Structure 1
Amino acid sequence: MTESDLSGHQKERKIVRVMRTYDLDHLEVQLVNRWTGTGEEQFTIRELARWFNVRVVERAMEDHDVSFDGLVPDPETVYDAIDADDPDEHQERVLEALRDSGFPVDDLAEDLPHWRSVYAWLTEDKEVEGGNTREPLTPQRGQERIDKLLSRVERVSDSTLSQLARNREGEVPDAEVSVRLRVKCSECEHTCVHREWIQAGGCPNCTDPA
């Protein structure tokens, strides 16, 4: 996406303009709290920018009443498609469907602020200290990150299969999508789910109990 943010205290930051344009001024406090970890899960600046941009996409979808064959697409899926430098086949279909519905994809992409814009607004304009620029990756956070990704894969897969089923003539049984990640040890070839691997701090079969 193109970053056309304006720097300097005398000029309005892109993120400020976007909050006003999309009626998201109430997110200002949440942005600060998620950056500092005050009463909220502490985000890195890239995670925070993504969180904000997904909220912008969600509001734009609500304003334009976006739906594909009566189903409302997931805002994160839409954001990933818009933000992708090299969209995959599924993301291309999402973008095409959005444009066919009259959704202003390119205008929205131009509105989404870069993480550097969010960082400058927080540290220079809001003068917020103690932000999380390089948060250490804990086992719990690593597991949450993988779980979120698997959940997104399930949502995209379920949406895709449902759409394909609707395109077929006649009744097609509903599909239940379940995604599991298994990790294989390169030493002993033991396999386990990712949670077990993370909790053990490595291969449960090779790692000595603490």
Structure 2
Amino acid sequence: MTDGQTAGSNTRTNKVDRVIEEYDLGDIGDELERLWLGEGDEQQSVRDLAELFNRRVLQSAIDASDVFTLGENVDHIYDALTGGESESDDRTLIRARLEQNGIDVEAVERDFVSHQTIYRYLKNHRDAEQPEPTDEERVEKAEQTIQRLRGRTTAVTERSLEGLQKKGTISLGDFSVLNDIQVLCDDCGRSYDVADLLARGGCECET
């Protein structure tokens, strides 16, 4: 039986709709479409939407478990399960605690979706079509994507260091994580902060 075929029926559906129904995710399909077609800060890529969807799946599985006493939030748990955390020990511990609370971790992970699956769902099953962006919108979207990834990298780095710090693996006092992205133009040797480069419209040597 394929992902698109329900047991005991000839009715074909898609994985996203099946998982929405199985985990009682309500109108998340409408939310995915709205965010994909949104404008400015609202618009999100299919990669972002796949992560949003998978985190909701995990949250639903946790909410449906018998008793849940794990202190970490869902974002931390998801990062650990999907390899976002640096320590395999942390991932192993979290998986064990989830399973102790009645959660079939492997089944939940099988129900996670890829960004390609989200794209096909929006295009083929919801007939969603993004308008062609202007050059300004492309630059703005690129900056938003970079800033989100930079913020995520900073957050993961902070959590990883705090985990090592608490276990006594490393010696570290109060700290801050600085995450600057510099772009070096090989033609002229000038270096720019990525946000400044986008605001300028490129390197001076090209103008």
Q: TM-score, normalised by structure 2?
A: 0.72
Q: State yes or no: 1:90 paired with 2:89.
A: no
Q: State yes or no: 1:6 paired with 2:42.
A: no
Tell me the SS of whatever aligns to 2:49.
helix
Deviating 4+ runs (over 6 angstroms): 132-137
Q: Please name the residue that 1:22 is paired with.
A: 23
Q: Please name the residue that 1:142 is paired with.
A: 142
Conservation of the 8 A alpha-carbon contact between 1:49 and 1:118: yes
CA distance in 1, matches of 2:143, 2:39: 22
C-alpha deviation, 1:195, in angstroms? 0.4
- Residues 36-45 or 8-17, more deviating: 36-45
Gaps of 5+ in 1: none
C-alpha deviation, 1:133, in angstroms? 9.9
Q: Please name the residue that 2:111 is paired with.
A: 111
- Residues 32-41 or 181-190, more deviating: 32-41
Conservation of the 8 A alpha-carbon contact between 2:55 and 2:75: no
Identity of matched residues, %:
23
Conservation of the 8 A alpha-carbon contact between 1:143 and 1:195: yes
Q: Please name the residue that 1:179 is paired with.
A: 179
CA distance in 1, matches of 2:106, 2:132: 29
Tell me the SS of whatever aligns to 2:176.
coil
> What is the CA deviation profile of residues 127-174 of structure 1, one whole-angstrom value per residue up to 9, with x for unaligned ones?
x242479998711111111111111111111111111111129x9633
CA distance in 1, matches of 2:22, 2:189: 54
- Residues 184-193 or 110-119, more deviating: 110-119
Give the direction of change, closer, same or farther, for the CA distance of 1:190–1:117 in structure 2 (3 Å limit): closer
C-alpha deviation, 1:196, in angstroms? 0.6
Give the count of matched residue pairs.
195
Gaps of 5+ in 2: none
> With CA pairs under 8 Å and 6+ residues apart, which has the higher RCO, 1 or 2?
1
Instruction: Name the Cα RMSD after superposition.
Output: 3.7
Give the direction of change, closer, same or farther, for the CA distance of 1:66–1:121 in structure 2 (3 Å limit): farther
Give the direction of change, closer, same or farther, for the CA distance of 1:181–1:66 in structure 2 (3 Å limit): farther
- Residues 56-65 or 186-195, more deviating: 56-65
C-alpha deviation, 1:40, in angstroms? 8.2
CA distance in 1, matches of 2:50, 2:132: 12
